[in-house]
Amino acid sequence: MIVNSLLFKTFRTATFSGTRIIARNMSGIVENTIRNKLQTSLGTKHLEIINESYMHNVPKGAETHFKVVVVSDKFDGLPLIKRHRLVNEILKEELQTGVHALSIVAKTPEQWDNSDKVVESSPNCRGGFGK
């Protein structure tokens, strides 16, 4: 299968609710595209791409649900809604072609430096359709 030949193994370190987790993970095509687009467009100072697809009713290895933690000088002076719109515009193609959900944490370098740098875990999937 072509997709499998394009995947490579990585180790991800993330902090969820104060707990440091090191997990072996597969970094896929969509995740790499998201990373490249955000780095290029925003000149990120810090960037985390977290594939949360495993938390949902999707096939194993899916790339449909992501959380991004983006720190960029380009967010200076922008309210949160405009930061989110900017990220959504950069990832417009991915959001139209398979990424079902995108959670965004968008901070300026100063906000990031003054934060606890903890990425809260997303809530469990409720199965969609208001369940």
Which comes out higher in pLDDT, residue 125 or 33?
33
Highest mean predicted confidence (pLDDT) among 2-6, 48-52, 75-79:
75-79
How many angstroms separate the CA atoms of 33 and 49, rounded? Answer: 10
pLDDT of residue 27: 74
Alpha carbon 57 to its chain's center:
18
**Is the per-residue pLDDT at 106 higher than 60?**
yes
**Mind listing the pLDDT tens digit for each residue in 24-73?**
345 789 999 999 999 999 999 999 999 988 888 888 888 989 999 999 99
Highest mean predicted confidence (pLDDT) among 5-14, 77-86, 97-106:
77-86
How many angstroms separate the CA atoms of 84 and 9, rounded? Answer: 29
**Mind listing the pLDDT tens digit for each residue in 90-104?**
999 999 999 989 999
* 78 CB burial (10 A radius; 0-12, 13-18, 19+): middle
pLDDT of residue 4: 33
Q: Quick one: tokens of 71?
A: 């720190």
Where does the pLDDT of residue 18 fall: very low under 50, low under 70, confident under 90, or very high at 90 and above?
A: very low
Which of 75, 86, 64 has its CA nearest to residue 110? 75
Domain boundaries, the chain: 28-113
Fold entry, domain 28-113: GMP Synthetase; Chain A, domain 3 (3.30.300)
How many angstroms separate the CA atoms of 47 and 32, rounded? Answer: 12
Which comes out higher in pLDDT, residue 22 or 42?
42
